[in-house]
Amino acid sequence: MKILCLNCGSSSVKYLLFDWQAKTTVASGLVERVGIGGSFINIEAPGREKVTVNQDCPTHKDAIQLVITTLTHKEHGVIDTLSGITAVGHRVVHGGEKFVKSVIIDDKVVETFRELSSLAPLHNPPNIQGIEAARALMPKIPHMAIMDTAWHQTMPEASYMYALPRAWYEKYAIRRYGFHGTSFLYNAKRAACLLGKDPFQTNLVICHIGNGASINAVKNGLSYDTSMGFTPLEGLVMGTRAGDHDPAIPLYVMARESMNPGEMDAILNKKSGKLGITGKYSDARDVEVAAEQGDARSKLALDMESNRIRKYIGAYAAAVGGIDAVVFTAGVGEMGPITREAALGGLEFMGIKLDRERNNISKTRNAETEISCKTSKVKVFVIPTDEERVFVEDVVGLLNGSYDIHTRFDYTFQHAGYRNKLRDDAFAKQCAKKPELAKVAASLPEGVKP
């Protein structure tokens, strides 16, 4: 049984082919520059060199056809025909209140996603285009949707409602939805496993920190609150998104600059955040380099980012009545010791004690690490996220009829003996070059010594 996972962005298609029986990735890659010219695809497979193929893809249908062609290619392909694919899992950013779990896609489901597009105008349309293209190219294969918002449907009303006219919720479904749900689900299960606790007796603050970033308060294994809101704009300081700010500010500037809502939306989403603060950089790596070189505005951006993360950690720990662990994940969360240290600075009074040496060593996407001191009452973990693994297991569950909401569904990765062979192999190679990594791993793969 081979499962194809597709994640369609506005100008890209990320894909992964997973062999369920072997419990391993067969191939993965990315089609970039869809619809803007100069398109190309990358394919990576275990034991092979990475391959890049240039081919123009004016539409998402062309991009998905290129994925299929690449996977079945005589030279660098990994399957002979489409019959080697059992089912397809699609990422959908916004499921609104309609979906509390992953679903089998039919025409009615697609129409519901279309109706929800106004809630996620930058994300749902390309998700839908990808679904329609894949269903047209692979009509005999079942397709499933995995939604970022589904994980957060357990939030209580006091967390998801805004102090706005009730009619806005009733007419326009304005409420907090939250995003990065698939990542939070994976991390919540893995963190409970590392703690040796029942996931539904575990309280966490999970920090998904990348160019887009959000924080999730997990109470007794369920999403209780989250920093992103009606859209992904609310919350943390991000690469180009403003995050939390006084909502009167856009109204004030629009009146004086004669801006329309579309222009202000573009500024808040694409020209704010770290880019707005520095005037130059949105990528965390660029901001860190500039700050080290003395750029005051870059240093300010890092200080503002870490201060916002710290405030959310404290607030969410209070909201759930105390936490067992803080978890960092996603690009910066997994690879950014500077951001992690700054975000946790001053939280010792909460029982959070960071081991600075372990934190500085922890830069890997192939192993879960523990970066807190042994005396820390609250553990601090770095867990490389694996959204595609959630995709795969949801799809398999839907296929065999065992799938249900996560409180009644058994994921393989929520058990102590779970291993990811590809990551274990990659981590072993990393440790051969950087042996100190083995010292911070929460658990070691076979053959790697501390």
Q: At what angle do helices 296-319 and 284-292 cross, to 10 degrees?
A: 120
Going from N- to C-terminal start, the domains of the chain cover 2-147, 181-382
- According to DSSP, residue 298 is labeled H
- Identify the pLDDT of residue 120: 75
55, two tokens = 């081919």
- Identify the pLDDT of residue 296: 97
Half-sphere exposure of residue 66: CA atoms within 13 angstroms, side-chain side: 28
Measured CA distances, 225 to 187, 215, 218, 235, 321 (Å): 15, 8, 7, 12, 13
73 in helix, strand or coil? coil
307, two tokens = 């201060």
Q: What is the largest CA-CA distance in the chain?
A: 65
Domain 2-147 and domain 181-382, same fold? Reply is: yes
Q: How many Å apart are CA 145 and CA 116, to the nearest integer?
A: 14
Q: How many Å apart are CA 36 and CA 53, to the nearest integer?
A: 16
Residue pair 332/210 in contact (Cβ under 8 Å)? The answer is yes
Identify the CATH class of 181-382. alpha beta
319, two tokens = 């909201």
Q: How many Å apart are CA 112 and CA 33, to the nearest integer?
A: 28
Catalytic center residues? 148
Q: Listing from the earlier edge strand, what are the strands of the sheet with 213-219?
A: 222-226, 213-219, 204-209, 325-329, 379-382, 369-370
Residue pair 385/191 in contact (Cβ under 8 Å)? The answer is no
81, two tokens = 């025909």
Per-residue pLDDT of the chain (450 residues; tens, 9 = 90+): 899 999 887 788 899 999 999 888 999 999 988 888 899 999 988 888 889 999 999 988 899 999 999 999 988 889 988 888 999 999 998 888 888 899 999 999 999 998 888 777 777 888 888 899 899 989 999 999 999 999 999 999 999 999 999 999 999 999 999 999 999 999 999 999 999 999 999 999 999 999 889 999 999 999 999 999 998 899 999 999 999 999 999 999 999 999 999 999 999 999 999 999 999 999 899 999 999 999 999 999 999 999 999 999 999 999 999 999 999 999 899 999 999 999 999 999 999 999 999 999 999 999 999 999 999 999 999 999 999 999 999 999 999 999 999 999 999 999 988 998 888 888 999 999 999 999 999 988 877 777
Domain at 2-147: CATH architecture = 2-Layer Sandwich (3.30)
Torsion angles phi and psi, residue 437, rounded to 5: -60, -35
Nearest to 368 by CA among 418, 406, 312: 418
Measured CA distances, 267 to 120, 193, 245, 261, 270 (Å): 17, 41, 13, 10, 5
Residue pair 425/24 in contact (Cβ under 8 Å)? The answer is no
Region of 324 please: left (phi>0), alpha (psi -120 to 50) or beta: alpha
Which amino acid is located at 293 in the chain?
A: Q
Q: No. of H helices and E strands in the chain?
A: 17, 14
Q: How many Å apart are CA 190 and CA 184, to the nearest integer?
A: 10
Half-sphere exposure of residue 77: CA atoms within 13 angstroms, side-chain side: 14
Torsion angles phi and psi, residue 81, rounded to 5: -140, 175
User: How far, in whole angstroms, is CA 400 from its chain's centroid?
Assistant: 26
Measured CA distances, 132 to 125, 128, 145, 374 (Å): 11, 6, 12, 51
